[in-house]
Amino acid sequence: MVSKVLEIENLKKQIKNKEIVKDVSLAVNEAEVFGFLGPNGAGKTTTIRMIVGLIKPTQGTVRIGGYDVQRQFTKAMEHVGCIIESPDMYRYMSGLANLKHFANMHKGVTQKRIDEVVELVGLKERIHDRVEEYSTGMCQRLGLAQAIMSKPKLLILDEPTNGLDPSGIREFRELVRMLAEQEGMGVFVSSHILSEIQLMCDKVGFIRNGTLLKTASIAELTKDQKTYWQVSDAEQAIRIFKSKWNIDVAVLEKGHLSAAIDNNLLGDINTSLFQAGIQVFYVQKDSKTLEDIFLEMTN
Residue 70's Cβ-count burial label (10 Å; 0-12, 13-18, 19+) is: middle
3-state secondary structure (DSSP) of residue 128: coil
Judge whether residue 63 has pLDDT over 90: yes
Task: Supply the DSSP string of 49-118, one letter for each residue.
Answer: HHHTTSS--SEEEEEETTEETTTSHHHHHTTEEEEESSPP--TTSBHHHHHHHHHTTSTT--HHHHHHHH
In this structure, the chain runs to a length of 299
- Residue 40 CB partners (closer than 8 Å, separation 6+): 192
Is residue 89 within 8 A of residue 75, CB to CB? The reply is no
Confidence at residue 86, expressed as pLDDT on a 0 to 100 scale: 66
User: What distance in Å separates the CA atoms of residue 16 and residue 284, rounded to the nearest whole number?
Assistant: 51
Helix or strand holding residue 261 (H, E): none
User: What distance in Å separates the CA atoms of residue 173 and residue 103, rounded to the nearest whole number?
Assistant: 25
Give the max Cα distance, the chain.
72
Average pLDDT over residues 67-71: 95
Judge whether residue 151 has pLDDT over 80: yes
Average pLDDT over residues 235-255: 88
User: What distance in Å separates the CA atoms of residue 77 and residue 232, rounded to the nearest whole number?
Assistant: 63
pLDDT in tens, 180-230: 988 889 999 998 778 788 888 999 999 999 999 999 988 788 776 788 889
pLDDT in tens, 160-172: 887 778 888 888 8
In 254-296, which ranges are E strands?
256-260, 280-285
Confidence at residue 149, expressed as pLDDT on a 0 to 100 scale: 92
Lowest mean pLDDT among 64-68, 83-87, 239-243: 83-87
Domains, the chain, with CATH or none: 4-221 (3.40.50.300), 224-287 (3.30.70.100)
What is the average pLDDT value for the chain, to the nearest integer? 88
pLDDT in tens, 8-51: 999 999 988 899 999 999 999 999 999 998 888 889 999 999 99
User: What distance in Å separates the CA atoms of residue 220 and residue 215, rounded to the nearest whole number?
Assistant: 10
- Residue 127 CB partners (closer than 8 Å, separation 6+): 94, 95, 96, 99, 118
C-alpha pair distances (Å), 294 with each of 8, 49, 157, 214: 22, 24, 21, 9
In the chain, which ranges are E strands?
4-15, 18-29, 33-37, 59-64, 67-68, 80-84, 154-158, 186-191, 203-208, 211-217, 226-231, 250-253, 256-260, 280-285
Phi, psi of 77 (to 5 degrees): -70, -20
More confident residue, 248 or 58: 58
Query: pTM here?
Result: 0.80
Confidence at residue 85, expressed as pLDDT on a 0 to 100 scale: 63
Is residue 298 within 8 A of residue 208, CB to CB? The reply is yes
Region for 213 from its dihedrals, namely left if φ exceeds 0, alpha if ψ lies in -120 to 50, beta otherwise: alpha
From the list 3, 20, 2, 4, the residue with the least C-alpha distance to 60 is 20
User: What distance in Å separates the CA atoms of residue 36 and residue 197, rounded to the nearest whole number?
Assistant: 9
Confidence at residue 22, expressed as pLDDT on a 0 to 100 scale: 94
